[in-house]
C-alpha cells in the first residue's frame, strides 16, 4: 500500500543533543513537508521541498535542518539550537506543490526533551 512512514513513533532526547526524524513516502509525490504541532494548536510549517535537492524554510525553521537527496525521503534534524523542541512532528507529501493539492500525512513522531 502507498503511504508515508515516519520513525520513530516516540523519541526522547536529552538537552543539547541533535536528533533526526525519518520520513519516507512511496506515493511518488514531488512535494514533501514538515510540520510541528503543539497541544491545542494548528500545524506550523518548518520546511518544505518541492523537488529533489531543493527545499525552503517555513514559518518556524530556526533550530531545524532538512535534506532531500532522494524523492522518497525527507529527514528532519532537530538541533540543539531549537530551544523548545518537545512537540508532535508530522511529515506530509503532495503530488505537486501547494495549489489545490491535498496533503497526505504520516503517523507522526512525538519528541520529548528530558
Partner 1 sequence: QQPVQSPQAVILREGEDAVINCSSSKALYSVHWYRQKHGEAPVFLMILLKGGEQKGHEKISASFNEKKQQSSLYLTASQLSYSGTYFCGTEYVRGSNYQLIWGAGTKLIIKP
Residues that bind partner 1 (CB under 8 A): 40-45, 90, 97-108
Q: How far apart are alpha carbons 38 and 32 in whole angstroms?
A: 20
At its nearest, how many Å lie between partner 1 and the CB of residue 99?
5
Nearer to partner 1, 27 or 79 (CB): 27
% helix, strand, coil for the chain, step of 5: 0, 50, 50
Q: How far is the CB of 80 from partner 1 (least distance, A)?
A: 27
Q: In angstroms, give the least distance from the CB of 109 to partner 1.
A: 11
For the CB of residue 83, give the shortest distance to partner 1 in the complex, in Å: 22
C-alpha cell at 93: 507529501
How would you class 84 by CB atoms within 10 Å of its CB: exposed for 0-12, middle for 13-18, buried for 19 or more?
exposed
- Using DSSP bridges, classify how beta strands 4-7 and 109-113 pair: parallel, antiparallel or unpaired: unpaired
Question: 66 or 90: whose CB is closer to partner 1?
Answer: 90
Q: Which is nearer to partner 1, 16 or 99 (CB)?
A: 99
Amino acid at each position: 500500500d502507498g503511504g508515508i512512514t515516519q520513525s520513530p513513533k516516540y523519541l526522547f532526547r536529552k538537552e543539547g543533543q541533535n536528533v533526526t526524524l525519518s520520513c519516507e513516502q512511496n506515493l511518488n509525490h514531488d512535494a514533501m513537508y514538515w510540520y510541528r504541532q503543539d497541544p491545542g494548536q494548528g500545524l506550523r510549517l518548518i520546511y518544505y521541498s518541492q523537488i529533489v535537492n531543493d527545499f525552503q524554510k517555513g514559518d518556524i525553521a530556526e533550530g531545524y535542518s532538512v535534506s532531500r537527496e532522494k524523492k522518497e525521503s525527507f529527514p528532519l534534524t532537530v538541533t540543539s539550537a531549537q530551544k523548545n523542541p518537545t512537540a508532535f512532528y508530522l511529515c506530509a507529501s503532495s503530488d505537486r506543490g501547494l495549489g489545490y493539492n491535498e496533503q497526505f500525512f504520516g503517523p507522526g513522531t512525538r519528541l520529548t526533551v528530558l
